[in-house]
Amino acid sequence: FQKKSLAGKRVLVTAGPTFEPIDPVRGITNLSSGKMGYAIAQAAWEAGAHVTLVSGPTALDAPYGVQRQQVQTAQQMHDAVMAQVSTQDIFIAVAAVADWRVANASDQKIKKTNESDTPQLQFAQNPDILASVAALAKAPYCVGFAAESENLLEYGTAKRIKKNIPLLVGNIGHQTFGKDENELVLFDANGHQALAKADKKTLANQLVSEIAKRIQTN
Ligand code: C5P
């Protein structure tokens, strides 16, 4: 009998897109399906962890064994994460969080009047959830994701340092949203390492083993 690699650990995962309202029936979102984050939450549970998944709107069922909290906006995701992160050992930020919210969102549905009169949206910056967690005095082991469309090795190395996190996972190519397969590169203080193209479930299991290896020696 071998002890599971994350036995006794508490893992918090964000996944999916966020949804930023324009008015009660409209909003801004992105093409994240949540598949990678959900697969990671499932893999962490299978590795013996207690897993909480803070998820934006997706079409996916909660992974078996995982405690899911559903949110819509980046601010709600931030608040849900910050409320419980102090009890966590590992934080994995997989969500595609909207960088901006609509600052002048309307409480009522915006009416179409005439062609020259179009709504003017203003934006405010959303909190960076991963940066907020990484900045905590007692931060859990933080894992970030990066979807770069070019120069992944260069940008990935720089982003890990800028985000002040021990492990950053780069998506190779930017066509990953909604797909069942992915190809990843892991960046840590020792350099980078590729995980060959595979389905998201396989990659999630590999990533969880890589995280487990790193926290053992942390
Ligand atoms: O800076 P960039 O958005 O490329 O960083 C991506 C990483 O940061 C992902 O892990 C994502 O979940 C996280 N992030 C976050 N909050 C934001 C923006 C990004 O947690 N507002």
Give 24-35 pLDDT, tens digit per residue.
999 999 999 999
Ligand 1 centroid vs 95 CA: distance in angstroms?
7
Nearest-angstrom CA–CA distance, 149 and 105:
30
Predicted local confidence at residue 148, as pLDDT: 79
- Residue 120 tokens read as 């003017």
Q: Measuring CA to CA, which residue among 35, 42, 73 is closest to residue 56?
A: 73
C-alpha dist (Å) from residue 93 to 59, 65, 131: 19, 19, 10
Q: Measuring CA to CA, which residue among 77, 101, 74 is closest to residue 91?
A: 77
Whether the full predicted model's pTM is greater than 0.80, yes or no, is yes
User: Which residue's alpha carbon is nearest to atom 4 within ligand 1?
Assistant: 146
* Angle formed at CA 148 by CA 142 and CA 150, multiple of 5 degrees: 140
Average pLDDT of every residue of the chain: 94
Q: How confident is the model at residue 175 (pLDDT cuts 50, 70, 90)?
A: low
Ligand 1 centroid vs 210 CA: distance in angstroms?
20
| Residue to mutate (ligand 1; options 28, 36, 75, 97; most atoms within 8 A of CB) | 97
pLDDT at 46 over 90: yes
Per-residue pLDDT, averaged over 157-184, amounts to 85
Predicted local confidence at residue 192, as pLDDT: 95
Give 148-160 pLDDT, tens digit per residue.
778 889 999 999 9
Q: How confident is the model at residue 173 (pLDDT cuts 50, 70, 90)?
A: low
Q: Who's near 30: CB < 8 A, 6+ residues apart?
A: 17, 18, 96, 98, 177
Please, are residues 38 and 58 in contact by the beta-carbon 8 Å criterion?
yes
Lowest mean pLDDT among 94-98, 127-131, 204-208, 214-218: 214-218
Per-residue pLDDT, averaged over 84-110, amounts to 98
Lowest mean pLDDT among 69-78, 106-115, 174-183, 187-196: 174-183
Which secondary-structure segment (H or E) carries 79? helix 74-84
Per-residue pLDDT, averaged over 64-75, amounts to 98
Let me know if 30 is a catalytic residue.
yes
Query: Is 127 known to sit in a ligand binding site?
Result: yes
pLDDT at 218 over 60: no
At the fourth CATH level, the homologous superfamily of domain 10-216 is CoaB-like (3.40.50.10300)
> What per-residue string of b and e applies to 4-20 under the rule 16 or more CB within 10 Å gives b?
ebbeebbbbbbbbbbbb
Ligand 1, pocket residues at CB < 6 Å: 14, 74, 93-95, 97, 126, 128-130, 144-146
For 201, phi then psi, to 5°, come to -65, -50
Predicted local confidence at residue 117, as pLDDT: 84
Please, are residues 33 and 57 in contact by the beta-carbon 8 Å criterion?
no
DSSP annotation of 99 reads: S
Residues in the chain, total: 218
* Angle formed at CA 60 by CA 54 and CA 65, multiple of 5 degrees: 60
User: Which residue's alpha carbon is nearest to atom 2 within ligand 1?
Assistant: 146
SS3 state at 149: coil
